[in-house]
Amino acid sequence: MQKVMRQQRDLRPALVFLSGELIAVPIPLERETVILGRALGADVRINDIKVSRKHAKITTVLNTETQAVEYVLTDFGAKNGTYVNGEKIEQETLQNGDKITIGDHILRFDLLDEIDREYQRQIHRLISHDDLTGLLSSRSFFSELRLEAARAKKDGRSFCVLMMDIDHFKLVNDTYGHLTGSKTLEEIGGLIINCVRNGDAAARFGGEEFAAFLLDAEIAQAVVAAERIRSEIAAHPFSVIRKSKPSETHHVTISIGVSSFPDDSSDPIELVEMADSALYRAKREGRNRVSAYRDLTPEELNSNLPPRRD
């Protein structure tokens, strides 16, 4: 009986996304009032044009009759409404497992213990990260990139996007086999993570292509960071998976393209396309090099300082 009561005391309210970019993410409801909406300042931000800036709120209240804590969902009069279990509501006391629909997103209201919360975090990690390298998946990268573009625009900050592709990677698989190819990708993911800062984001786009965005970085700083990644990979002895020669290594190189926000574009998708265009220019010019989407001005070259490292 005491064990059951202890488990009940450990239950905490959370919203779990069942659809959209943040699928499986548990959002703890730690404040007395939690705002849901599209605004950057919302406690639970839902990036959906069908969602109002301030769409709804969840308020923690004490039922004076039962002395039980309740969680009340209130719609702010949003144009597209708020739904609980398929029914449009103005105000509703949430029950464990209720499904809330806001715009095209579905969230479940859950009372989770620590085991449940850790399980949800692990599920989200499996969905949002590449299982080989541990980097973000391309879908999660675009989600983070869109959020960063919105924050940077609001705060008047700059950031840069890197697109990266291993040179002649097919030769690695053909020469050493696919196990070595997979191990090479895994090691490259680790090298990229070690070269970027806390807060930056790196992803595997699939195959031998990688991407990153660097916070608070001007174009010249991003070129320096990209050159650091390029040189680290070029110098690294990559493992060869071969029982007959356990200490054998091989080398690969990488080509990198760079674009900058907002100078090149303020649209996150266009920034990726620009960095990709610069990447293929680096390929055409001989590979194993860094290319910016546009030529740097003398002032940018003179500010060629490494980005801040946390």
What's the angle, vertex CA 232, arms to CA 229 and CA 238, rounded to 5? 120
Asked if residue 278 lies in contact with residue 289, where contact means CB atoms within 8 angstroms, the answer is no
pTM of the model: 0.65
What does the pLDDT average to over 255-281? 95
What are the tens digits of pLDDT across the range 123-181? 656 566 787 888 888 878 888 898 889 889 988 999 999 999 999 999 999 999 999 99
Q: In the annotation, is 118 catalytic?
A: no
What are the tens digits of pLDDT across the range 219-266? 999 999 999 999 999 999 999 998 777 789 999 999 999 999 999 999
Query: For the chain, what is the mean pLDDT?
Result: 86
Retrieve residue 279's tokens. 């990447």
Retrieve residue 211's tokens. 């991407």
Contacts of 299 (CB under 8 A, 6+ apart): none
Distance, in Å, from the CA atom of 17 to the CA atom of 81, rounded to the nearest integer, reads 18
Q: By 3-state DSSP, what share of the chain in percent is helix, strand and coil, each rounded to 5?
A: 35, 30, 35
The per-residue pLDDT for 142 is 86
**Alpha helices, DSSP H, located in the chain:** 2-9, 114-128, 138-155, 169-176, 178-195, 219-235, 268-284, 298-302
pLDDT at 302 over 70: no
Distance, in Å, from the CA atom of 256 to the CA atom of 283, rounded to the nearest integer, reads 9
Query: Which one is catalytic: 21, 92, 148, 208?
Result: 208
